[in-house]
Structure 1
Amino acid sequence: MSAAMQALKSRRIISTERLMMIPPGKENLPDLIKLKGDEGAFGLMLHGVRTPERTAEELEDDIDFWEVRGYGTWCVFERETGDFLGICGLMERPDGRGVALRYALWPASRGKGYAREAARAAIAFGHAAGLQRIIAVARYTNHASRGVMTDIGMRPCGDFLNKGMAMLVFESIAPARA
């Protein structure tokens, strides 16, 4: 990787109090295959669990998305241990609703505030990158995810049905610049 590319990638790394969020690379494929193939971790995500082949395709898409858009999905690691916790980031929703926050963590990583910490950092990065509106979607029955969205300041702004399931849409509007 060229020095210019490494400098660009380093600006995309987010460090929070407990987390390191790094844009995905090919070296993350084994962790992503495990995460995205796990029902407990990825069962509630749009399109559900993934095959290893689909995960590899999505990784290529995520890498390309970063290059084109300057934002995307991060691999989330615990800073102290270096453990892979999951993913969090911003993606263009395939249904045309806009740029959306997404996150999926290992079930063992839940209940510790990691999703809130990562989601808050991703939203801040997105707004700083010029995104005026960022949405997030959760099943009506996914109270944990709805709680994360509410706790980080997102507001409900709509709903829709997806394959017979009630979905809620939340939004974050960039603060006005002084």
Structure 2
Amino acid sequence: MDGLARVESPHAVRTSRLTLRPVGPEHLADLVALKGDEAAFGLMLHGTRSPAQARQDLEQDIACWAVHGYGTWAVHLSATGAFLGIVALAERPDGRGVALRFALWPHTRGKGYAREAARAALEFGHQRAGLARIVAVAREDNLASRGVLEDLGLRRASEFPRDGHRMLVYESLRPPASPASRDGG
């Protein structure tokens, strides 16, 4: 961050410690580094990405925001502006629905940042984007991601095999509106 006041996107989200900003061209170098790192991105759906693939992903992510009103955020530590990773709501290519995804730098693990960013994205998806159902998929042996999903209240809904691994599908359903909120009261 350059210290100048910035105009925030209407899709930016702030938590007590984090700022989530929709990804844009200014995030390309950080995304190339994150997505090329096996420890940070190796367990993601398509695995690590080349710089060209990361650039293509960014173009698709920008388009997703324009079309759907949700997408991938760059996760920054509010106090310093440091880039920690990404959190996203994105349609899964296998037709399972809009999925919550997150990948943060390994050195940030154990501080609750993934949980905080994922909670903010989940709330955005249900409350601001109007998504009734959000899924998340984690390898059975990815205990850290499973722990985040379960702590956020996502429930296991199904499973499927992929590349010799058992994949667990979690879901979050938007709570129905209370009678008072439906009546405007």
TM-score scaled by length of structure 1? 0.94
Pairwise CA distance, 1:47: 1.1
The answer to whether 1:147 aligns with 2:147 is yes
Q: Which residue of 2 aligns with 1:3?
A: none
Q: Deviations over 1:125-152 (max 9, x none)?
A: 0001110000000000000000000001
Alignment identity in percent?
59
Give the Cα–Cα distance (whole angstroms) in 1 for the partners of residues 120 and 88 of structure 2. Answer: 9
Which residue of structure 2 lines up, in the alignment, with residue 89 of structure 1? 88
Q: 2:9 and 2:26 mapped to 1: Cα distance? A: 16
1:168 aligned residue: 168
Amino acid aligned to 2:146: R
RMSD: 1.2
Q: What are the residue-to-residue correspondences of 1:1-20 with 2, within 5 Å?
A: 10-20=9-19
Shift of 1:81: 1.1
Distance 1:43 1:18 in 2: 26
CA distance in 1, matches of 2:30, 2:9: 21
Cα distance between partner residues in 2 of 1:26 and 1:11:
17
Letter aligned with residue 99 of structure 1? V
CA distance in 2 between partners of 1:117 and 1:78 (Å): 11
| SS of match in other structure, 1:86 | strand
2:183: which partner in 1?
none
SS at match of 1:10: coil
CA distances 1:106-127 after superposition (whole Å, capped 9, x unpaired) = 0001110000000000000000
TM-superposed CA distance for 1:29, in Å, is: 0.2
Measured after TM superposition, the shift of residue 10 of structure 1 is 2.1
Deviations 1:65-112 (A, max 9, x none): 000000011000000111000000100000010000000000001110
Distance 2:48 2:152 in 1: 26
* Structure 2, unpaired ranges of 5+: 1-5, 179-185
Name the TM-score, length of structure 2 as normaliser.
0.91
Q: Determine the C-alpha separation between the residues in 2 that align with 1:11 and 1:149.
A: 26
- AA at the equivalent of 2:43: L
- Give the residue type in structure 2 aligned to 1:53: A
Bigger radius of gyration: 2
Please identify runs of 4+ aligned residues in structure 1 that moved more than 3 A.
none
1:37-82 CA-partner distances (Å, limit 9, x unpaired): 0000000001100000000000000000000000011000000111
Residue in structure 1 matched with residue 67 of structure 2 by the alignment: 68
- The aligned counterpart of 1:55 is 54
Q: Secondary structure at the match of 1:170?
A: strand
SS in 1 for 2:9: helix
Partner Cα separation in structure 2 for residue 35 and residue 10 of structure 1: 23
Matched residue SS, 2:47: coil
Kindly report which structure 2 residues correspond to 1:75-114, keeping only aligned pairs within 5 A, or say none. 75-114=74-113
Letter in 2 for 1:141: D
Cα shift at 1:174:
0.2
